[in-house]
Structure 1
């Protein structure tokens, strides 16, 4: 016996089914594919958007932000609902209420801390559908301009010591000769993390033979923030020095064993020198002006005074 189908009724049910699928697939919220990166102590926007058809019924709109099981921020009944908000986010979160009708469910998080890093979930429900998506928030801190310490040793060697304190996460550091040959493997690099702040300090030393002409470049990178600090030091003997009229260069001759050069902004120079009974020979330092750069030069008290060194530091 052949069943008789009511074709009009069947077609109507199929139409409703397809209509429901279409409505569901149209409601697709958007979050960053590659996550977000926040800068320590600054504000970060966690982006999330949703489709709006016609006008948004704010009475039925629900937006919730979570990190794991922690409630970061909630909105429903046309206003923020922070009764269940985790206390670590108190007074640090806000939504863009005026833009919510346009489909903006983004969250602003202020005074970002390293503890804020993690996976965040944006959940949105409106009269046309609901969905939630998650993404990673990373937190990073810029490394300050490095301090370059130059130590002239008694054995005819020179130590270049680079330090930078207060960045996150741990950086990459590279040393080059002639801007091409990688000599990072022959350097001594120490990386320390503060137990309280969790920020990193880097100290890297390169030992060279004094009296030879060479160009040394160090490159410090913080990948999460796209930060790159690249500085070049040209080392050459005084006998090979050529005169220059470049106004961006400073030429200083020191007659004492211990000298400190501090270059900040307009390259103001201060020096402190200890007296010595040994024979004094000039030591020359040439630096290309670079704001917010600090260079220290230390001549070991046992250093032979029969040498002259010229340093050029370029940004």
Structure 2
């Protein structure tokens, strides 16, 4: 029994001795922010510390098979390296005995931004860590200039290149407050992945006529600004009295046009009225009938030179004392009048039905005859040609 226990203890000790040691690869949780053109160190350490001289250290970005930097077989392997990183990467080999696998990137470009993986092959296992590298570029000082005048005032333009990522753009007035107008801003990427920014705005005159263009890289929290003061002569002046004058001229023209239209309509109406004779009463009627005495009240009878018919309800009324009322049913809407000097007669017809209404005979006509029309309110009559 004791011998069996001793054997078990001996076997357990052997397993403890042969158990492979485990390692962790530590990177950095926070992103590394570096300016374009500078160098950056991407940290990577093995814990617990162990020598890396006989191990494989591989840094890659997107493709494991195309490394940013590869150390294998106790040497660097630039022949397998991504061509965009050749002669721009370096490992700290003097720190290999302490487990330091950090990578140095030189002369950073905008395209270097991204996620990097530090991969270490321990032969019996492997571990890796990721590093987030962010790149920021500060562009050249903006160039602000006056492009010309516009209907809204003066157009300003501001341009700068060398930014990454796209900067925020703001126009300020002389009091360092945001300009009221909305700018038009475009971004164009160059061959190096950097942005050229062009922004334009229409401004109006204020108390200072001073404007500034502010471009800021929010990643690096750095900005560049350009200022311009515009002479007063470039802003169009508004002459209030000139505006009042032209408004007055416009009103006069409108009044004249309205007067012309009114008088033309009035003359047209007069001409139309000359074709009609409307009697609303018999006193003070201004009509030239040469054979009629208008000084007294006019009675529409043949003895006075009037041969007329009319309607009372649906009954035909003739202005003779011996003619009774005749019931005609519907009142004609169109009356035809036939005058014959030879037969000395005046006849009235229903123009729609071509039926005879009444005829006056034995009339001694004066030299001139005129039509007489009498209507009730809210009605109208029209004389039609044959």
**Using a 3 Å threshold, how does the CA distance of structure 1 residues 9 and 176 change in structure 2: closer, same or farther?**
farther
Q: Which has the higher helix share?
A: 2
CA drift of 1:144 comes to 0.9
Q: Of the two, which has the highest radius of gyration?
A: 2
Q: Deviations over 1:53-75 (max 9, x none)?
A: 4xx44543331111222122122
Contact 1:66 1:121 in 2 (8 A): yes
Note the 1:108-127 alignment, pairs <5 A.
108-125=104-121
**Using a 3 Å threshold, how does the CA distance of structure 1 residues 38 and 64 change in structure 2: closer, same or farther?**
same
For the residues of structure 1 that align with 2:179 and 2:5, how far apart are their CA atoms?
82
For the residues of structure 1 that align with 2:5 and 2:26, how far apart are their CA atoms?
42
For the residues of structure 2 that align with 1:113 and 1:221, how far apart are their CA atoms?
19
**Using a 3 Å threshold, how does the CA distance of structure 1 residues 211 and 113 change in structure 2: closer, same or farther?**
closer
Please point out which of 199, 211, 215 is paired with 2:194.
Answer: 199
Note the 1:136-155 alignment, pairs <5 A.
136-150=132-146, 153=149
Partner of 2:55: 61
Partner of 2:313: none
CA drift of 1:203 comes to 1.6
Note the 1:137-176 alignment, pairs <5 A.
137-150=133-146, 153=149, 157-176=153-172
For the residues of structure 2 that align with 1:136 and 1:304, how far apart are their CA atoms?
54
SS in 1 for 2:215: strand
For the residues of structure 2 that align with 1:207 and 1:144, how far apart are their CA atoms?
23
Q: Deviations over 1:108-134 (max 9, x none)?
A: 222333433332210124599741012
For the residues of structure 2 that align with 1:135 and 1:185, how far apart are their CA atoms?
43
- Residue-pair matches, total: 232
For the residues of structure 2 that align with 1:164 and 1:184, how far apart are their CA atoms?
22
**Using a 3 Å threshold, how does the CA distance of structure 1 residues 150 and 89 change in structure 2: closer, same or farther?**
same
Q: Comparing both chains, which one has the higher relative contact order based on Cα–Cα distances under 8 Å and sequence gaps of 6 or more?
A: 1
Partner of 2:216: 221
Please point out which of 81, 86, 106 is paired with 2:82.
Answer: 86
SS in 1 for 2:119: strand
SS in 2 for 1:115: helix
CA drift of 1:6 comes to 6.8
CA drift of 1:185 comes to 6.4
CA drift of 1:222 comes to 1.6
Q: Deviations over 1:188-239 (max 9, x none)?
A: 2222233x34332212223222252366554312233332224566x69xxx
Partner of 2:204: 209
**Using a 3 Å threshold, how does the CA distance of structure 1 residues 7 and 146 change in structure 2: closer, same or farther?**
farther
RMSD (Å), alpha carbons:
4.2
CA drift of 1:28 comes to 2.8
For the residues of structure 2 that align with 1:177 and 1:304, how far apart are their CA atoms?
18
* Length-normalised TM-score, structure 2: 0.48
Partner of 1:190: 186
For the residues of structure 2 that align with 1:125 and 1:6, how far apart are their CA atoms?
39
